[in-house]
Amino acid sequence: MKVLILAGGLGSRMGEETTLVPKPMLEIGGKPILWHIMKTYSHFGFNDFVILLGYKGYYIKEYFLNYYLHSADVHIDMVKNETTYLNTAAEPWKITLLDTGLQTMTGGRIKRAAEYIGNEPFLLTYGDGVADIDINALIAFHKNHKKLITLTSVQPEGRFGALEIEADQKVSRFLEKIKGDGAWINGGYFMCEPEVLNYLKHDESVFEQEPLMTLAAEGNLFTYQHNGFWKCMDTHRDKQQLNTLWENGNAPWKRW
Mean pLDDT of all residues belonging to the chain: 91
- Using CB atoms within 10 A of its CB, is residue 59 exposed (0-12), middle (13-18) or buried (19+)? middle
**According to the model, what pLDDT value does residue 4 have?**
98
Share of the chain above pLDDT 70, in %: 90
Summarize pLDDT for 185-232 with one digit per residue, the tens: 999 999 999 999 999 999 999 999 999 999 999 999 999 999 999 999
pLDDT at 63 over 90: yes
> The domain 2-156+182-247: what is its CATH number?
3.90.550.10
- pTM over cut 0.75: yes
Summarize pLDDT for 156-172 with one digit per residue, the tens: 876 655 556 667 655 55
Per the model's pLDDT, the better-predicted residue between 13 and 248 turns out to be 248
Identify each DSSP E strand in 62-170 by its residue range: 73-77, 82-86, 94-99, 122-126, 129-131, 149-154, 162-165
* Alpha-carbon torsion angle 138, 139, 144, 150, nearest 10: 60
**According to the model, what pLDDT value does residue 170 have?**
53
User: 56-65, 101-110, 133-142, 181-190: lowest mean pLDDT where?
Assistant: 181-190
Task: Give the mean pLDDT of 240-244.
Answer: 97
